[in-house]
Amino acid sequence: MGNVMWGQGAGNKTNSNCHDSSLKAGEDETLVVLHDYPSPDISEPIFRMGEKLRVLSQEGNWWRVRSVQSGSENYIPNNYIAKVYHGWLFEGVVRQKAEELLSLPENRVGSFMIRESTQQRGVYSMSVKHRSIQHYKIFRLENSWYYISPRLTFQCLEEMVNHYSDIKGKDCEDQCVLQHSNRICVITLAESHPILQNGRSIKSINYQISAGCSRLHNRVSGKSKRGGQFLTEFAPLCRITCTDGVEYTIYSCIRGRLLEVNEDILERPELLLGKPSTEGYIAVILPKIEESKTVTNGLLSREEYESVVSKRTKSTQPEPQPEPEPEPC
């Protein structure tokens, strides 16, 4: 579907020109197939659900198209397709159909789409493939800026997509959420995160997210833990800069109240490098009671994570080269 956002490689950035009125202007028309056509009950389908099509022409309620995958050309009726802009903005796709499309095997964990409401133009939501399909409402301020988390606003949808593609789309920047029986979740780095690889060292850790937001200024009180900053899955927790100059942003990964950040790693970053799941943790988050059993549903289990890392390692290993045959004397 769209660019990849979670734990995989980000796709190409969108145009940074922030004018929503031009979202659909000047784009080569691309369609996505919503249902197998024709129906398998009638004959062998020409186009399969999820297949991407290039528009050749439109004739009434029919489109003449070329399959991006196979290159075959044919006609398809209007009620079997949805328009796609920029590879991520889908027009006329309802929530259930979004789940069907994102669940197709060719869509990796992290694939996403922005859906424009079928009832109201200019109203959008985001659907993301984690272990299950998650949906997020995109809110709009009076000044027309957009946000998912109220602490982070964007002038246009392209800017939002670029941001979330960057934060969740860098290869191997894996994080770990450790949930305890009392609901609290400890956020830290997974052992495959590049910060923990190849003997790297940390130059600085900064909990100052923006000019007006610091995770250090988090005040929690009472048994109900009131006052903690509320975080969404995409909320940044801190920025870590390695001695080689590369900076990494660490995210909350789950929804909930920020209980604390680990100030010890500010003075002793070696704790994060050596003991990321214990003394070197990054933050502690408390999900809502009603969400405590489902808050990690969109994340990989330990077994799934190990499988992903194993496949990733194999894919990056060079193929063995045949030994040269000995030359005759």
Domain boundary among the residues 168, 202, 225 is at: 168
Q: 114 near 126, Cβ under 8 Å? A: yes
Single-letter code of the amino acid located at 48: R
Distance CA 285, CA 30 (A): 41
244 lies in some domain: yes
Residue 68 has φ and ψ, to the nearest 5°, of -65, -35
CATH number of the domain that residue 128 is part of? 3.30.505.10
- 3-state percent breakdown (helix, strand, coil) of the chain, nearest 5: 15, 30, 50
Same domain, 129 and 162: yes
Indicate the SS3 state at residue 65: strand
Distance CA 36, CA 51 (A): 9
Q: How many alpha carbons fall within 13 Å on the CB side of residue 118?
A: 9
Across the chain, which has 329 residues, the per-10-residue mean pLDDT values are 39 49 62 94 93 93 93 95 92 94 86 89 88 87 87 84 64 85 94 91 93 87 80 88 91 91 96 96 94 81 84 59 48
Distances 16 to 91, 120, 267 between C-alpha atoms, Å: 21, 25, 38
327 lies in some domain: no
Indicate the SS3 state at residue 265: helix
Q: Tell me, what's the pLDDT at 134? A: 86
321 lies in some domain: no
Helix/strand number for the chain, H first, E second: 5, 21
Q: Measuring CA to CA, which residue among 119, 121, 47 is closest to residue 80?
A: 47
Residue the block writes with tokens 């006609």: 75
56 lies in some domain: yes
Q: Measuring CA to CA, which residue among 143, 181, 173, 155 is closest to residue 249?
A: 173
Q: 53 near 37, Cβ under 8 Å? A: no
Same domain, 251 and 209: yes
Distance CA 72, CA 237 (A): 48
Same domain, 111 and 206: no
Distance CA 156, CA 73 (A): 35
What range does the domain containing 242 cover? 175-292
241 lies in some domain: yes
Same domain, 184 and 253: yes
Q: What is the DSSP string of 257-314?
A: EEEEE-THHHH-THHHHH-TTTTT--EEEE--GGGTTTTTTTSPPHHHHHHHHHHHHH
Q: Tell me, what's the pLDDT at 52? A: 93
Q: Tell me, what's the pLDDT at 321? A: 47
Same domain, 179 and 164: no
Same domain, 45 and 163: yes
Same domain, 31 and 163: yes
Distance CA 215, CA 209 (A): 7
- Counting the structural domains of the chain, the total is 2
Q: Tell me, what's the pLDDT at 10? A: 35
129 lies in some domain: yes
CA–chain centroid gap for 130, Å, is 8
Q: Tell me, what's the pLDDT at 3? A: 43
DSSP 157: H
DSSP 170: S
Domain boundary among the residues 168, 189, 218 is at: 168
CATH number of the domain that residue 234 is part of? 2.40.50.100
207 lies in some domain: yes
Domain boundary among the residues 127, 149, 168 is at: 168
Distance CA 172, CA 9 (A): 8
Indicate the SS3 state at residue 169: coil
Question: Which tokens is 300 given?
Answer: 């990989």
9 lies in some domain: no
Same domain, 128 and 192: no
Same domain, 162 and 183: no
Same domain, 263 and 137: no
Q: Tell me, what's the pLDDT at 232? A: 82
Same domain, 162 and 179: no
Same domain, 235 and 148: no
Q: Tell me, what's the pLDDT at 8? A: 34
Q: Measuring CA to CA, which residue among 60, 106, 52, 40 is closest to residue 81?
A: 52
DSSP 235: -
